[in-house]
Structure 1
Amino acid sequence: MKLAFSTLGVPGLPIPEVLRLAVAHGYHGVELRAHPEEPVHPGLGPAERASLATLFQSAGVEPLSVAGYVRVAEPGPDEPVLAGLRELTDLAADLGAGRVRVFPGGGERPEEEADAAAVRRLAAAAPYAEDRKVRLLLETHDSHPTGHDVARVLNAAGHVDGLGAIWDLMHPWLGGEEPTDTFAALASHLDCVQVKDIASAEDTRPLPLGAGVLPLGECLELLSRGGWDGWLCWEYEKRWHPEAAELPELLGPGRRHLMRLLSDAA
């Protein structure tokens, strides 16, 4: 498995410094939070995109994914959602990233209604993503927190080359889904696993890996035994918790912790 971290943990940090941290601490890739307050976002012009792609290539670090904020199950017309997906797909392709993170975002809509919107939009957007060699990854999050929720949508949407899943370890756990059930539901779709740690279900502030309650070891053992060999991305949500410890000082210990767990799981 290859290791990455998200720029959500180092909000606003210039990309050259992000790449320096990745190289210094042995991470293979970086997930790029795509937002106007960050160095990477859909408003970048062609020259800026080309420059960023060159920086990644020169550093030998992969731009793992573009973490966007499109919500595929949200109420409203389809076209603004589809336009957002195309916009993020183009950004990912221009940077050399093969993935775009999307949220469900169904809110309080009935499950059937939210699922139908997500399926319809993902199925419509997938061919464009496939043409640009990008996968749209639906994350276990908000209205669809469990593996079964996300799998239900992806099974109906099809397009396995253009669509996939992100297993954010926290949300299925908060939803009461056992890791074995999450993995079983997502296995055929699983592209990336977001690792993290928190103090409790009531206190979700980010902690160093291994310092909290999330079943990280159990999850990595499941992945290893299941023959899964994808990306592990540390999503340290510093952006939402400014009081949390700084990520750069945790990257080295975090990588060593993951490597120990992977060794134990082998």
Structure 2
Amino acid sequence: MRLGLLTACLPGEPLEEIARWAGAHGYAALEVAAWPRRPGRDWEAGHLNVEDFGPAEAERVNALLDRHGLSMSAVAYYENNLHQDPEVRAATHAHLRRCVDAAQLLGVGLVGTFVGRDVTLTTAENLRLAERVLPPLAEYAAARGVRLVIENCPMEGWHPDGYPANLAYSPELWGWMAELGLWLNYDPSHLVWLGIDPIAAIEAHAERILHVQAKDVEVHPDARNRYGVFGQVLDRRPWESGWWRYRVPGHGEVDWPRLIDALRGNGYDGVVSVEHEDPVWSGDPGRVRQGLAIAQAVLAPHIRT
């Protein structure tokens, strides 16, 4: 296994600076963010411009990573592939295909995304929708030697009532995703707050895990006793449950030595990519890098081969 990081936590930093820092601080791989640059959405990282990406750009990016002793684990574009607005959904699919094209040129076999959800439909209706629209995307990727890996984040902030808005959040759905030609980008943090044993999930679905994201979660039982597992209702704010929050590895509930051992024991030998969404170690690039350094110190001793 190798330790990597998802570049989305540093949206304002150029890829060259992220690569220089990562290579000098014990990281071996980058999961490179490829959101389109859109006005008013400065939190979205576009470290690959897949809108205009050709062989010359691929050669430049690969040379940059090589200079810093890094590889690329995946191209990252985590968006709602079942969005209720048909025009938004079509644009998302078009950008995802461009991410696949870029991955092919880069020699990267994985593109990370979400299933998503049409929040105007029931879960059952969304399953049927996904069965129509997602296999062509998986087939497009497979024809180019690329596989789509789906992160198991609930994306509850997309739903007006805070319910799961990414139909990949539960191990119950991972076999269904496999039937659509989709693979798993496994993130244990989401499972913990959902009350799911992340080790059991690895053991039951190891053959579908092609990429791993490392994020921790801090749970406050007293607040859960007040709000319940569905989170705060009065004065609700999107992405804030009131009883849990994401943290860098080592500052939450995940048993990282045991989890990494379970991955290794079940044959996983890919990248463990730190996804930094810790509000304590956020606010400016310096603090984000401090959080990434903490994650590296916690994980590296267990990931070294």
User: Fold match, TM over 0.5?
Assistant: yes
Contact 1:146 1:177 in 2 (8 A): no
* TM-score, normalised relative to structure 1: 0.83
- Residue 131 of structure 2 is aligned with which of 104, 119, 122? 119
Please list the CA deviations of residues 208-230 of structure 1 after superposition, one character each: whole Å capped at 9, or x if unmatched: x2122233333223212223222
Q: 1:16 Cα deviation (Å)?
A: 1.4
Letter in 1 for 2:195: G
Distance 1:222 1:145 in 2: 21
- In the superposition, relative to structure 1, how do residues 262 and 83 fare at CA in structure 2: closer, same or farther (>3 Å)? closer
Q: Which residue of 1 aligns with 2:24?
A: 24
State the aligned residue count. 259
| Alignment match, 2:247 | 206
2-structure distance, mates of 1:131, 1:93 = 10
1:255 counterpart residue number:
296
Q: Is 2:196 aligned against 1:156?
A: no
For 1:58, give the aligned amino acid. Answer: R
Give the root-mean-square deviation of aligned CA atoms.
2.9
* Aligned position for 1:92: 103
- Equivalent residue for 2:42? none
The sequence identity of aligned pairs, in percent, is 26
Q: 1:119 to 1:220 in 2, by over 3 A?
A: farther
Partner of 1:167: 186
Preserved contact between residue 6 and residue 33 of structure 2 (Cα < 8 Å): yes
Aligned partner of residue 262 in structure 2, secondary structure: helix
Name the residue aligned to 1:130.
Answer: 142
Q: Which amino acid aligns with 2:167?
A: H
Residue 183 (1) aligns with residue 202 (2): yes
Q: Greater Rg, structure 1 or structure 2?
A: 2
What is the Cα deviation at residue 157 of structure 1?
1.3
Q: 1:221: which partner in 2?
A: 261
- Give, in whole Å, the separation in 2 of the partners of 1:169 and 1:229: 17
Contact kept in structure 1, 2:214 and 2:273, CA below 8 Å: yes
Q: CA deviation at 1:12?
A: 1.8
> Does residue 192 of structure 1 match 2:232?
no
1:15 and 2:15 are equivalent in the alignment: yes
Q: SS at the partner of 1:222?
A: helix
State the TM-score, normalizing by the size of structure 2. 0.73
How far did residue 98 of structure 1 move? 2.1
Q: Displacement, 1:31? A: 0.9
How far 1:112 sits from its partner (Å)?
2.4
Gaps (5+ residues) in structure 2? Answer: 38-44, 155-165, 221-242
Counterpart selection for 1:69 from 60, 74, 78: 78
Shift of 1:91: 2.4
Which residue number corresponds to residue 232 of structure 2?
none
Residue 94 of structure 2 is aligned to residue 83 of structure 1: yes
